[in-house]
Structures are given as C-alpha cells and as structure tokens.
Amino acid sequence: MGFGGISIWQLLIVLGIVVLIFGTKKFRSLGSDLGSAVKGFKSAMKEGEKEADSENLEKTAADQDPIDVKATQVDQEQERK
C-alpha cells in the first residue's frame, strides 16, 4: 500500500502519463521555478528576522532610562578606541 490506498505502480503510471502529456522540459522549468521560489522565501524570512531583531533593540533602548542609554553609548565608544 502506498499513499491513501494508491500503490507505487499506480503512481508510476500516472507519472508516466503526465510526462507524456507535458514533457520533461516543463518539469525542469517547474523545478527551477519552485527552487527560486523557495530561495526567495528563505531570503525574505532572513530579512524579516533582521528587522524584528532591530525593532526589539530599538524598543529595549526606548524602555531604558535616557541616562543609561547615554552611558552605554559612551562605553561603546571607549571600547572602540
């Protein structure tokens, strides 16, 4: 038994018919389109995570006392030197 009562042989026959109808060129272009879509989705997710991190840092800085923020900035400048 395969997927939902469909045997592997039935799946292969359906795949063969689809290849005969559409050809292998369509499958190659479909695969490359799917790959580029996944790549775009991953890069968008990474950009979203970076934006969320920067927003969290801004919120954290806004929640701090202004004197503490200035002291932190001075400390960071001294570390750079």
pLDDT of residue 40: 92
Q: Is the pTM of this model over 0.85?
A: no
pLDDT of residue 61: 56
CA distance 55 to 76: 20
> 29-74, pLDDT tens digit by residue?
888 899 999 999 999 888 888 877 777 766 665 565 555 556 666 6
> 8-24, pLDDT tens digit by residue?
899 899 989 988 888 88
At position 73, the amino acid (one-letter code) is Q
Q: What angle do CA 39, 40, 43 make, to 5 degrees?
A: 85
CA distance 59 to 30: 43
